[in-house]
Amino acid sequence: MIVEDESLVAMDLEYLLTEMGHIVVEVATRVREAMEFARDSEIDFAILDINVSGTQSFPVAEILRQRGIPFVFATGYGSAGLVDGYRDEPTLQKPYQPRELEHLIAATPPIIP
């Protein structure tokens, strides 16, 4: 699942993931939409933009964490944009580098709820 409000960024990320052999099951452009999908759908991994149309994606991260679904935060600010309780989560720096993206996906273990 991709949570990203900028369509060009989301399309680029979806393309990169598809080229790496992954299947993108959802591209959510709103936090509420992402929360519903995170709660109700089968997801193996998620990439969450921190700021989605002015709303932070931490509620989505909490749902994923409770379900044991691994995720990374995507941000132009690095880990400095994370709040307490999420500072140790993997962070993908924008703009995305394909090797870094692939490494983070491979290195992010499932979460034990």
Extract the tokens encoding 20: 């790496």
Which letter, b or e, does each residue of 14-24 get, where b requires 16 or more Cβ atoms within 10 Å of its Cβ? bebbeeeeeeb
This prediction's pTM: 0.89
The contacts of residue 37 (CB under 8 Å, 6+ apart) are 1, 26, 28, 43
User: 73-103, pLDDT tens digit by residue?
Assistant: 988 776 666 778 888 888 888 888 889 999 8
What band does 18 get if pLDDT is binned at 50, 70 and 90?
A: very high
The whole-angstrom separation of Cα 27 and Cα 36 is 12
**Average pLDDT over the chain, rounded to whole?**
89
pLDDT of residue 90: 84
Q: What angle do CA 10, 34, 25 make, to 5 degrees?
A: 60
Domains in the chain, please, with CATH?
2-107 (3.40.50.2300)
